[in-house]
Amino acid sequence: MTSEPLPPDLRALFADPADAAGRSLSVPLPPGRAVSSAEEDGDRPAFWLSDAPAPEGLWSRLRAEHARSGLWPLLLDALDDNDPEYRPWGSGEVTPGGMSDPAAHDPAALLAAWWTDHTDNPDPETAPYGRAWPGLAPTPATGGDPDRIADGLAAHLLADHRSMRLGLVAADRGADALAVAGWFGPANYTDDTAEIAAVLRGWEDRFGARVVGVGFATLLLSVAAPPTTHDQALAVAAEHFAFCPDNVWQGVTPLSAYAERLVGDHSWAFWWD
């Protein structure tokens, strides 16, 4: 299929009009609209949202065109599927202007600070680690194809949640899409989603992670190189706890039990209360 220049509603997503001018897309999109923040003033839309649930296979086709289009696809879930506003996406409950640049943050420093903020010494939930940050998990030596695994997770997610809509964000990488769109799902944890994006950048590089699904306060990643042993998984679990302690506090506890679920798992899910 011939690639066509981006239509005006997609060009409007780019901060730099010159960058948008050279972009193209060969994948036909379903009906949708550009969504601007209802919380902030400004002419630039935060993202594009489909009017109806995402068609099967479209996420992977758009992901494959990201380098040419500059648009990262997201599968977006609503707080309540029966809500006609499809919050927070359809209602524009996002704050892109309030987010900093993910590149301005050191993911290792963020995780270390969050770990210290959310652990006590001793803390049975985070044993065998104490209050001192244990450091980043080792980078796996091998892994699968990040794109293939991301496509597979997107297909599985849509099969289980057929109501999810398609979002498009003008971002250089999936991690940055969360900050560019102004998503504030972890608002009770950090009011700057660029900090979340900075950690995700590191996971993209180290574990072949890809941002696939986003809800009101939930996040789903595909993972090409998950831990393969319990010791490796325990180190990754420490990063997860620092990143999203609710996964352990209100999910699987203690940390050692949480780690068991990470061994060989090609998807990581997070939820902030």
> Encoding tokens for residue 80?
């309540």
- Asked whether residue 20 is domain-assigned, the answer is yes
Based on the fold, state whether residues 167 and 214 are members of the same structural domain: yes
Average pLDDT of the residues in 261-270: 98
Based on the fold, state whether residues 215 and 232 are members of the same structural domain: no
Based on the fold, state whether residues 124 and 163 are members of the same structural domain: no
- Asked whether residue 76 is domain-assigned, the answer is yes
Based on the fold, state whether residues 109 and 210 are members of the same structural domain: no
Handedness of CA 133, 138, 144, 148 (dihedral sign): positive
pLDDT in tens, 73-104: 999 999 998 899 999 999 999 999 999 999 99
Based on the fold, state whether residues 154 and 196 are members of the same structural domain: yes
C-beta of residue 166 within 8 angstroms of C-beta of residue 54? yes
Based on the fold, state whether residues 60 and 72 are members of the same structural domain: yes
pLDDT in tens, 170-179: 999 999 999 9
DSSP 154-219: HHHHHHH-TTPEEEEEE-SSHHHHHHHHT--TTTTT-S-HHHHHHHHHHHHHHH-EEEEEE-SSEE
Average pLDDT of the residues in 56-62: 97
Q: Provide the residue range defining the domain that includes 30.
A: 4-99+146-222
- Asked whether residue 273 is domain-assigned, the answer is no
- Asked whether residue 229 is domain-assigned, the answer is yes
Average pLDDT across the chain, whole number: 96
- Whole-number pLDDT of residue 1: 62
**77 Cβ contact list (under 8 Å, min separation 6):** 161, 163, 164, 213, 214, 215, 216, 218
- Whole-number pLDDT of residue 195: 98
Based on the fold, state whether residues 19 and 79 are members of the same structural domain: yes
Cis previous bond, 124, omega within 30? no
Based on the fold, state whether residues 92 and 166 are members of the same structural domain: yes
- pLDDT of 194 above 80: yes
3-state SS assignment for residue 25: strand
Strands 32-35, 47-53: pairing kind: antiparallel
Beta strands in the chain (DSSP E): 4-5, 24-25, 32-35, 47-53, 71-76, 165-170, 209-214, 218-223, 267-271
Model pTM?
0.96
- Whole-number pLDDT of residue 47: 98
- Asked whether residue 74 is domain-assigned, the answer is yes
- Asked whether residue 54 is domain-assigned, the answer is yes
pLDDT in tens, 97-151: 999 999 999 999 999 999 999 998 778 899 999 999 999 999 998 899 999 999 9
| Main-chain phi, psi angles of 173, to 5 degrees | -150, 160
Handedness of CA 187, 189, 197, 58 (dihedral sign): negative
For residues 76-104, b (16+ Cβ closer than 10 Å) or e, as one string? bbbbeeeeeebebbbbbbbbbebbeebee
- Whole-number pLDDT of residue 3: 84
| Main-chain phi, psi angles of 271, to 5 degrees | -145, 130
Based on the fold, state whether residues 214 and 228 are members of the same structural domain: no
Can you tell me the distance from the alpha carbon of 76 to that of 86, in angstroms, rounded to the nearest whole number?
Answer: 9
Domains of the chain: total: 2
Based on the fold, state whether residues 245 and 229 are members of the same structural domain: yes
Helix (DSSP H) and strand (DSSP E) numbers for the chain: 11, 9
- Asked whether residue 272 is domain-assigned, the answer is no
pLDDT in tens, 238-259: 999 999 999 999 999 999 999 9
pLDDT band per the 50, 70, 90 thresholds, residue 205: very high
- Asked whether residue 91 is domain-assigned, the answer is yes
3-state SS assignment for residue 48: strand
pLDDT band per the 50, 70, 90 thresholds, residue 190: very high
Based on the fold, state whether residues 166 and 256 are members of the same structural domain: no
Based on the fold, state whether residues 216 and 229 are members of the same structural domain: no
